[in-house]
Amino acid sequence: MNKALIAIAASLTLFAAGAANAQIGKAASDATDAAKHKIDEKRADSKAEKSGPVGKAVNNVKSGYHKNRSKSSADKAKKALKNAG
């Protein structure tokens, strides 16, 4: 009986550790996405400065999109880390 309880406890511990690792992996993925969107936002800002009126408008929209996606991904990463802890 004791051996069975120890085996069950060990398997639950391993399962919990696996779930935490999955959350940490998700957080890392979301953080990477946030960084990529931040880079794309800065690129669009740079292109907007060098463009004419239409290009400026298009690149400002792109910049806003990437800014929102970056914030969303960063929030998802924070939430995944909180859930892992």
In Å, how far are 4, 9, 60, 64, 83 from 71, measured between CA atoms?
47, 39, 17, 11, 18
Average pLDDT, stretch 31-47?
94
- Whether 70 and 39 have beta carbons less than 8 Å apart is answered as no
pTM tops 0.75, yes or no: no
Q: With left for phi above 0 and alpha for psi between -120 and 50, is residue 52 left, alpha or beta?
A: beta
pLDDT at 12 over 70: no
Residue 2: Cβ-neighbour burial (10 angstroms; 0-12, 13-18, 19+): exposed
Greater confidence, 9 or 43? 43
Radius of gyration of the chain (CA): 21
